[in-house]
């Protein structure tokens, strides 16, 4: 849903806006759940990059299997 709402930003930034959208989602998750704790903006962005990389690898593996 967030990707659809922020579609103009994603198009304008040529996909780099996805990093901030994913960081926003991770920050919201951190705010909602007490057991998750991310201290600061740099760890938040680093976690976003890690999640994005894992997502990229899994999607690539899924395409190879098909």
Phi, psi of 40 (to 5 degrees): 100, 165
Query: pLDDT digit string (tens) for 4-25?
Result: 888 888 889 888 888 888 899 9
Of the listed ranges 3-7, 35-39, 51-55, 57-61, the one predicted with least confidence? 3-7
User: Cβ(1)–Cβ(8) under 8 Å?
Assistant: no
The domain ranges of the chain are 2-65
């Amino acid at each position: 849903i967030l990707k659809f709402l922020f579609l103009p930003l994603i198009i304008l930034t040529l996909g780099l806006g996805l990093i901030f959208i994913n960081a926003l989602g991770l920050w919201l998750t951190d705010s909602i759940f007490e057991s998750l704790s991310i201290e600061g903006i740099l760890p938040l962005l680093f976690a976003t990059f890690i999640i994005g990389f894992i997502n990229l690898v899994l999607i690539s593996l899924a395409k190879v299997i098909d």
